[in-house]
């Protein structure tokens, strides 16, 4: 009999708030977390807006010495993971530490540390390069530092699949639990891309919105006038555990994770195939593994990046998988409010699904003002909606053709 996997803890740092509660309230209120870049002088750049984690100071949560030896993306991971562990009421100690694992990834990892230390070498010479460069820049250090911070000694992995990273992290963590290699997993992702080269790189790829004069209206998934995504930073972590383990310790159970799909487009490094064929297979895989029919899904948190190609392809994919139900199911993109958190996006959007199940509120897709004939589904425009959500599905689609789908259901004994 396959082990059931439930969600018992949530933690997040986002452009809408430095915890899950404030982030969720922002989403329900339809508030944008996008604004002018303040982390550096962006006045000379084509793109001058982003989703920053406002007021976040690592030293509010970590010892100054520890914080100095971590890149910002690791700060987000450790803070979100610690918050998730507290929310779960999980006590990791000697007699259970080996049964608790970590699966936390990042899309681009310690890019700010790399850039900073290259400048140090060029200006001051190689002997001035930090001995902490490697352990600060490598992408797996988020998972490594979380294990050190929490004492989790079980399986420890770091997935990298661009914008699908943390969705894959959650899915693979569930698989680790199901096969019996851990009873509990801390799963998610983190990202800190808001530095000049990070913004310029995506801008040169023509992926970002250039609505610099109206940042709160820049991320507009499925809208006919969308012109690109808005880069954002932050971290999101879930605590997953076996149902048996959760019940034994009297944990609060948010919901159950029942479906996980993972596919590749094998098509193009940045563009989705016509009709979103890879996303179609990912959703169908997740539904098959969940034992659910498409008609049973109440809410879809779309990848919904606000790019012309992605939104159309994902809409087509949903139509292919859900047929007539595609026009009945509620769909929204929370990226319209928190921006695109890249490697942290999938876990953040999993949290949105979980909170929708818990509260009966579906966050809106804000800035939906100009209907696109190619995107003609119910995107819950502009205002949150009260609805009974028993089953929620979330898609994450990454550069390189990576696709991941997660399905959560209300917990029933």
DSSP string covering 69-85: TS-HHHHHHHHHHHHHH
Query: 325 an active-site residue?
Result: no
Residues 53 and 28 in one domain: yes
Q: Of the listed 75, 163, 255, 375, which one is catalytic?
A: 163
In this prediction, residue 205 has a pLDDT band, given cuts at 50, 70 and 90, of very high
Query: 163 an active-site residue?
Result: yes
Q: Of the listed 168, 245, 338, 340, which one is catalytic?
A: 340
Residues 222 and 282 in one domain: no
| Inside any domain, residue 253 | no
Please state, in angstroms and rounded to a whole number, the distance separating the CA atoms of residues 275 and 271: 11
Structure tokens at 132: 């902490």
Residue 355: which domain range? 260-409
Q: Is the pTM of the predicted complex or chain greater than 0.75?
A: yes
Structure tokens at 282: 């990912």
Asked if the model's pLDDT at residue 1 lies above 90, the reply is no
In this prediction, residue 246 has a pLDDT band, given cuts at 50, 70 and 90, of very high
- Where a domain ends, among 191, 225, 248? 248
| Inside any domain, residue 254 | no
What CA–CA distances, in Å, run from 62 to 56, 59, 383? 12, 5, 37
Residues 17 and 161 in one domain: yes
Please state, in angstroms and rounded to a whole number, the distance separating the CA atoms of residues 23 and 289: 30
Tens digits of residue pLDDT in 158-203: 999 999 999 999 999 999 999 999 999 999 999 999 999 999 999 9
177's CB contacts (< 8 A; 6+ apart) are: 3, 5, 183, 184, 185, 240, 241, 242
Tens digits of residue pLDDT in 252-282: 999 999 999 999 999 999 999 999 999 999 9
pLDDT, average across residues 396-403 = 97
Residues 130 and 205 in one domain: yes
Tens digits of residue pLDDT in 376-386: 999 999 999 99
Phi (first) and psi of residue 397, to 5 degrees:
-130, 120
Residues 207 and 282 in one domain: no
Q: Of the listed 75, 168, 303, 338, which one is catalytic?
A: 303
Residue whose structure tokens are 């509010």: 60
| Inside any domain, residue 110 | yes
Q: How many domains are there within the chain?
A: 2
Residues 169 and 289 in one domain: no
Residues 98 and 185 in one domain: yes
Residues 49 and 140 in one domain: yes
Task: Name the residue among 399, 310, 393 with its Cα closest to residue 352.
Answer: 393
Please state, in angstroms and rounded to a whole number, the distance separating the CA atoms of residues 163 and 346: 7
Structure tokens at 327: 């026009």
| Inside any domain, residue 255 | no
Residues 88 and 218 in one domain: yes
Mode of pairing for the β-strands spanning 35-36 and 49-50: antiparallel
- Please report, for the domain that includes residue 284, its CATH number: 3.40.47.10
Residues 216 and 334 in one domain: no
Residues 202 and 349 in one domain: no
pLDDT at residue number 94: 86
Residues 244 and 264 in one domain: no
% of residues, the chain, pLDDT over 90: 99
Query: 338 an active-site residue?
Result: no
């Amino acid at each position: 009999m396959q082990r059931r996997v439930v969600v018992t803890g949530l933690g997040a740092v986002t452009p809408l708030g430095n915890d899950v509660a404030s982030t969720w309230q922002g989403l329900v209120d339809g508030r944008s977390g996008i604004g002018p870049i303040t982390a550096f002088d962006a006045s000379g750049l084509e793109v001058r807006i982003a989703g920053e984690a406002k007021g976040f100071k690592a030293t509010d949560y970590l010892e100054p010495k520890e914080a100095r030896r971590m890149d910002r993306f690791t700060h987000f991971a450790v803070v979100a993971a610690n918050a998730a562990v507290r929310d779960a009421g999980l006590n990791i100690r000697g007699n259970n530490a080996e049964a608790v694992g970590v699966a936390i990834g990042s899309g681009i990892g310690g890019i700010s540390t790399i850039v900073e230390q290259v400048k140090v070498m060029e200006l001051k010479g190689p002997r001035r390069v930090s001995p902490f460069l490697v352990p600060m820049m490598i992408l797996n250090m988020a998972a490594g530092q979380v294990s050190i911070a929490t004492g989790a000694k079980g399986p420890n992995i770091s997935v990298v699949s661009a914008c699908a990273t943390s969705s894959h992290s959650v899915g693979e963590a569930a698989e680790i639990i199901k096969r019996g290699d851990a009873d509990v997993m801390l799963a998610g992702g983190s990202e800190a891309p808001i530095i000049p080269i990070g913004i310029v790189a995506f801008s040169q790829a023509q992926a970002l919105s250039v609505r610099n004069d109206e940042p709160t209206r820049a991320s507009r998934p499925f809208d006919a006038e969308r012109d690109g995504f808005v880069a954002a930073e932050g971290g999101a972590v879930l605590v997953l555990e076996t149902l048996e383990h959760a019940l034994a310790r009297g944990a609060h159970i948010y919901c159950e994770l029942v479906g996980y799909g993972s596919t590749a487009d094998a098509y193009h490094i940045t563009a989705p195939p016509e009709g979103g064929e890879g996303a179609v297979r990912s959703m169908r895989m997740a539904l098959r593994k969940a034992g659910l029919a498409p008609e049973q899904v109440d809410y879809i948190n779309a990848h919904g990046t606000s790019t012309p190609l992605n939104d159309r392809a994902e809409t087509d994919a949903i139509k292919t998988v859900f047929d007539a139900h595609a026009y009945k199911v509620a769909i929204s993109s929370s990226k319209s409010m928190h921006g695109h958190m890249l490697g942290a996006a999938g876990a953040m959007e999993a949290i949105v699904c979980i909170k929708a199940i818990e509260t009966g509120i579906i966050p809106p897709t804000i800035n939906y003002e100009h209907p696109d004939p190619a995107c003609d589904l119910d995107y819950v425009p502009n205002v949150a909606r009260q609805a009974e959500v028993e089953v929620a599905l979330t898609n994450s689609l990454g550069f390189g053709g990576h696709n991941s789908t997660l399905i959560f259901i209300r917990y029933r004994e």
